[in-house]
Amino acid sequence: MPELMVNIDHVATLREARGIHYPDPVFAAGIAEMAGATGIITHLREDRRHIKDRDVRILRDVVRTKLNLEMAATPEMTKIAVSTKPDMITLVPEKRQELTTEGGLDVIKYAAKIEKVIAAVKKRGITVSLFIDPAEAQIKASAGIGADMIEIHTGSYADARTERMKKKELDKVIRSAVLGKELGLGVNAGHGLHYHNVREVAVIPQIDELSIGHSIIARAIFVGLDRAVRDMIEVIKK
């Protein structure tokens, strides 16, 4: 059964809707951990639209499970990662106009840039994951460039409108997970996963961790964060 890593960014989205001090994503991290999350994920975007530098610093101090910092492969973010020392980073592509991370990282096109970041953070003992589309060439490139893990982008699976498309996208995720493991990589998956589509991904034996944010925070509005995390773990277990 894969472990659940909870992304708490959208607690900060709600805070930033008012530009005040609550709700605090740091509190959310503690509640998610107590409810059984095995890791906390946060994305410090270049435009700081939700998570701020202060959040990352405090999260580093208080997270007792594992802190995964999502970030763009830029010199600024590399500096922050090296100084705050999360347990792991996940490199993601970033566009200012997007609502959320849209596609996977192009590891082939940006190999030189990514390699630099990997070298800098691995020296500090930080594990590196690359968020990529479920494509063979990207997985091979990730292994070749020295990543420890990949996170397979499940957005196309989650967005598929027909059963046929859903199956096709799920097959890609499965094949990618198998190839990732064969190449010696840790394999995570995430994006767009919710209580009604996570099961098919959770049963893939090669997947180590699921990265889920929006659906858990959305459910937390109605049932509370503790229950929302526990419910997701229950669905994954089944």
- Active-site positions read 43, 70, 191
For residue 30, the SS3 value is helix
- Shortest-Cβ-distance residue relative to ligand PXP: 213
Name 157's Cβ contacts closer than 8 Å, sequence gap at least 6.
166, 169, 170, 172, 173, 192, 197, 200, 201
Q: In this structure, what are the phi and psi dihedrals at residue 6, rounded to the nearest 5 degrees?
A: -100, 130
Output 25 or 190, the one with its CB closest to ligand PXP.
Answer: 190
Output 191 or 219, the one with its CB closest to ligand PXP.
Answer: 191
| Alpha carbons 222 and 225: distance in angstroms, whole number | 9
Q: Which DSSP category does 51 fall into?
A: -
Question: Whole-number minimum distance, CB 166 to ligand PXP, in Å?
Answer: 16
Question: Whole-number minimum distance, CB 43 to ligand PXP, in Å?
Answer: 5
186: left (phi over 0), alpha (psi -120 to 50) or beta: beta
Q: Which two tokens stand for residue 170?
A: 């799920």
Output 145 or 193, the one with its CB closest to ligand PXP.
Answer: 193
Question: Whole-number minimum distance, CB 40 to ligand PXP, in Å?
Answer: 12
Question: Whole-number minimum distance, CB 126 to ligand PXP, in Å?
Answer: 16
Output 123 or 130, the one with its CB closest to ligand PXP.
Answer: 130
Output 131 or 157, the one with its CB closest to ligand PXP.
Answer: 131
For residue 56, the SS3 value is helix
Question: Whole-number minimum distance, CB 190 to ligand PXP, in Å?
Answer: 3
Beta-carbon-side half-sphere exposure of residue 160 (alpha carbons within 13 Å) = 17
Angle at which helices 163-182 and 136-145 cross, to 10°:
30
- The residues of the shown chain that bind ligand PXP, judged by CB under 6 A, are 7, 9, 43, 70, 90, 92, 100-101, 131, 151, 190-193, 211-215
